[in-house]
């Protein structure tokens, strides 16, 4: 007999979320939050389409393109993004330019001001507002020659699609309240070397900022493969396991020693995004790829990974390389280039809904438990877990989750109440465990992987 008790997701939908007559149990954990459903419903493909068209209208958004014009170049583009966020998030979003001057580099021919547009929605719970979730897209664009900053570079898919999704999420989500803080960021200089997101990640790390998750949206616009076949029901989510560092840290070594290579904080984030995204966006698949990015490639989540944060990348299922990083031209009757006509706003909206549902769920939930340990003093066939108490005032308790060592997603769960130690009659030799924190409304955090208590 298989040891894993398969528990189905909780199915009882509680009316009047926030008021529970009975204490939470596995059976009464709500499967959906009304607020998250509302956010998913409010994401608009029409507005996303308008944002993509507006971004394309600046001609080029190359990082070194001109900044004086009000209609052409990256300066006009970033001023429009900032104004749009200030307009739609008035009184809610704190919108700032974050900039640095980048010196001459491989892909930077003169010192260039690199400007991120950062919109923060502050959390409303004292115990959670210093916990941040960052969602990002890059608004710069390029053509065949990465140094060509004058030619038209519409960058409709790469990455006006991600930028439009971030603007739409910021506008919609600023009308809702979350315990933790959300950062809606559009960055520059992705194409020149990830310098915009790199600057943000480095400053965040230096400031000790608690970024509990980062979602990068880059090339999320096309619902067709290069042969024109429709595939609008899935998105790829790239999630790194063990980082390719030269020196293995003690924490990393322990992760590997215990078979936890799929339980890095980034894989836990990806697991949570898949579970939440697929729950709130029906008939849409989040296809987790166990890889940092596309083969040997990188993106704006990479500097966050390097800074030690959990960070993942969304990208459409099939990239068409005739439609990215290309000079605009016609070859054999085929239009080449990253044109707005190749972007499907309904598809971008689906990816934005997955992002928004995940972000909302993360920012409504307590922090993932800290210092989770599995007791190893005695050899036995159970699993004794212990963890540090969370500090949120609305905490209801904790949930133990488990799965086979070869299974990607959690297979079993048990709500154990407001305790900081629990013994499960399942063997740590055969299964992988995690501990999640749950609030009184039934919002559930990502899982924390237990390290051995020695």
> What distance lies between CA 230 and its chain's CA centroid?
25
> Helix crossing, 74-88 with 162-173: angle to 10°?
20
The residue among 184 and 402 lying less far from Zn ion, judged by its C-beta, is: 184
Q: How far is the CB of 40 from Zn ion (least distance, A)?
A: 25
Residues 44 and 168: beta-carbon distance below 8 Å: yes
Residues 147 and 119: beta-carbon distance below 8 Å: no
Is residue 316 close enough to count as binding Zn ion by CB under 5 A? no
- Length of the chain, in residues: 454
Q: How far is the CB of 77 from Zn ion (least distance, A)?
A: 15
Residue 192's SS3 state is helix
Cα–Cα distance measured from residue 340 to residue 78, given in angstroms and rounded to the nearest whole number: 19
Residues 92 and 172: beta-carbon distance below 8 Å: no
Phi, psi (5° rounding) for residue 90? -55, 130
Is residue 300 close enough to count as binding Zn ion by CB under 5 A? no
User: In the range 203-222, which residues lie near Zn ion by CB under 5 A?
Assistant: 218
Q: How far is the CB of 293 from Zn ion (least distance, A)?
A: 11
The residue among 347 and 433 lying less far from Zn ion, judged by its C-beta, is: 347
Cα–Cα distance measured from residue 209 to residue 144, given in angstroms and rounded to the nearest whole number: 37
Question: For Zn ion, which residue of 140, 159, 199, 275 counts as binding (CB under 5 A)?
Answer: 159
Is residue 293 close enough to count as binding Zn ion by CB under 5 A? no
Is residue 439 close enough to count as binding Zn ion by CB under 5 A? no
Q: How far is the CB of 330 from Zn ion (least distance, A)?
A: 23
Cα 418–Cα 422–Cα 423 angle in degrees, nearest 5: 155
Is residue 344 close enough to count as binding Zn ion by CB under 5 A? no
How many of the chain's residues bind Zn ion (CB under 5 A)? 3
Among the candidate windows 156-164, 226-234, 269-277, 355-363, which touches Zn ion by CB under 5 A?
156-164
The residue among 154 and 412 lying less far from Zn ion, judged by its C-beta, is: 154
Residues 188 and 182: beta-carbon distance below 8 Å: no
Is residue 158 close enough to count as binding Zn ion by CB under 5 A? yes
Among the candidate windows 54-62, 76-84, 153-161, 404-412, which touches Zn ion by CB under 5 A?
153-161
Q: How far is the CB of 295 from Zn ion (least distance, A)?
A: 16
Chain residues that interact with Zn ion, rule: CB under 5 A = 158-159, 218
């Amino acid at each position: 007999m298989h040891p894993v008790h398969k528990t189905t997701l909780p199915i009882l939908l509680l009316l009047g979320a926030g008021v529970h007559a009975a204490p939470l149990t596995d059976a009464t954990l709500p499967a959906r939050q009304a607020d998250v459903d509302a956010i998913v419903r409010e994401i608009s493909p029409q507005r996303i389409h308008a944002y993509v068209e507006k971004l394309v209208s600046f001609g080029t958004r190359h990082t070194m393109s001109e900044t004086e014009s009000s209609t052409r170049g990256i300066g006009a583009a970033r001023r429009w993004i900032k104004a749009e966020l200030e307009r739609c998030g008035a009184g809610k979003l704190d919108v700032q330019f974050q900039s640095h001057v980048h010196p001459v580099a491989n892909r930077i021919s003169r010192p260039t001001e690199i400007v991120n547009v950062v919109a923060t929605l502050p959390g409303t719970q004292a115990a959670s507002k210093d916990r941040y979730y960052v969602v990002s897209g890059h608004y710069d664009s390029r053509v065949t020659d990465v140094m060509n900053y004058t030619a038209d570079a519409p960058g409709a898919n790469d990455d006006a699609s991600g930028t439009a999704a971030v603007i739409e999420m910021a506008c919609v989500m600023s009308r809702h309240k979350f315990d933790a803080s959300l950062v809606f960021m559009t960055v520059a200089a992705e194409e020149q070397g990830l310098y915009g997101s790199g600057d943000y990640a480095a400053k965040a790390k230096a400031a000790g900022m608690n970024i509990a998750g980062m979602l990068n949206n880059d090339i999320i616009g096309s619902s067709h493969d290069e042969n024109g076949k429709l595939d609008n029901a899935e998105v790829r989510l790239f999630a790194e396991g063990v980082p390719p560092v030269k020196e293995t840290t003690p924490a990393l070594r322990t992760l590997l020693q215990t078979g936890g290579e799929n339980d890095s904080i980034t894989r836990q984030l990806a697991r949570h995004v898949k579970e939440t995204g697929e729950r709130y966006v029906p008939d849409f698949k989040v296809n987790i790829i166990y890889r940092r990015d596309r083969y040997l490639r990188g993106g704006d989540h990479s500097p966050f990974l390097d800074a030690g944060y959990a960070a993942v990348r969304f990208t459409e299922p099939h990239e068409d390389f005739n439609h990215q990083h290309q000079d605009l031209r016609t070859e054999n009757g085929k239009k080449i280039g990253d044109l707005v006509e190749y972007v499907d706003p309904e598809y971008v909206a689906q990816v934005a809904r997955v992002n928004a549902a995940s972000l909302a769920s993360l920012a409504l939930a307590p922090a993932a438990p800290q210092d989770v340990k599995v007791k190893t003093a005695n050899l036995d066939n159970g699993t004794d877990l212990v963890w540090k108490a969370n500090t949120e005032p609305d905490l209801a308790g904790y949930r133990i989750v488990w799965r086979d060592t070869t299974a990607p997603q959690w297979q079993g769960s048990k709500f154990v109440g407001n305790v900081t130690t629990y013994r499960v009659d399942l063997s740590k030799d055969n299964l992988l465990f995690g501990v999640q924190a749950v609030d009184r409304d039934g919002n559930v955090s990502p899982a924390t992987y237990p390290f051995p208590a020695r």
